[in-house]
Chains A and B, each alone.
Chain A
Amino acid sequence: MTLYTSTIRLPRQRSHAWKRLGESTLFAIGFPFLLLVIWAAWSTAAPATFFPSPVIIAQAFVDTWIGPAFVTDVLPSLGRLALGIILSIVIGITAGTLIGLVRWLRELLEPLLEFFRAIPPPVLIPVAMLLLGITDTMKVVVIVAGAVWPVLLNTIEGVRSTDSVMTETARSFAITRAERLRYLVLPAASPRIMAGVRQTLSVALILMVISEMFASSSGLGYRITYFQRNYLIAEMWSGIVLLGLIGVLLAAVFSIVEKRVLRWYHGIKEVERA
Chain B
Amino acid sequence: MRETLLQVEHLKKVYESSTGNVEAIGDISFSMSAGELVCIVGPSGCGKTTLLKCIAGLLRSTGGTVELDGKRVTGPPPNMALVFQEYGRSLYPWLTVRGNVELPLKHKKLSRVERDQLIDDALEAVGLEQAAKSYPWQLSGGMQQRVAIARAVAYQPEVLIMDEPFAAVDAQTRADLEDLVRRLHLERGMSILFVTHDIDESVYLGERVIVLSKSPTWVQEDLTIDLAPERDQITTRALPRFTELRTHVYEQVQRAKRGQAVRPAA
Contacts and interface: CB of A to CB of B under 8 A. Distances in A.
Interface of A: 1-6, 8-9, 163, 165-166, 168-169, 171-176, 179, 183-184, 187-188, 190, 264-265, 267-268, 271
A3 B137 contact: no
Given A267-B135, A268-B93, A165 B176 contact: no
B210 to A, nearest CB: 21
A187 B82 CA distance: 22
Contacts of B45: none
Interface in B39-81: 53, 56-58, 76, 78, 80-81
Contact of B58 (A166, A168, A184, A267): A168
Given A5-B142, A176-B107, A264 B93 contact: yes
A5 B92 contact: no
Contact of B137 (A165, A173, A183, A271): A271
A4 B143 contact: yes
A171 B78 CA distance: 10
Contact of A174 (B78, B131, B143): B78
A175 B76 CA distance: 10
B89 A173 contact: no
B131 A3 contact: no
Contacts of A187: 92, 94
B198 interface: no
Contacts of B173: 3, 5
A175 B94 CA distance: 17
A267 B138 contact: yes
A8 B138 contact: yes
A264 B138 CA distance: 10
Given A172-B56, A173-B104, A175-B107, A2 B94 contact: no
Contacts of B117: none
Given A166-B89, A169-B90, A264-B137, 19 more contacts: A1-B127, A3-B172, A3-B176, A4-B140, A5-B140, A5-B176, A6-B140, A6-B143, A9-B138, A163-B89, A168-B53, A173-B76, A173-B155, A184-B92, A188-B94, A190-B94, A267-B138, A268-B137, A271-B138
Contact of B107 (A3, A165, A179): A179
A171 B170 contact: no
28 contacts: A2-B127, A2-B180, A4-B140, A5-B140, A5-B142, A5-B143, A5-B172, A5-B176, A6-B139, A8-B139, A165-B89, A166-B89, A168-B53, A168-B82, A169-B82, A172-B57, A172-B58, A173-B104, A175-B107, A176-B107, A179-B107, A187-B94, A188-B94, A190-B94, A264-B93, A265-B94, A267-B93, A267-B138
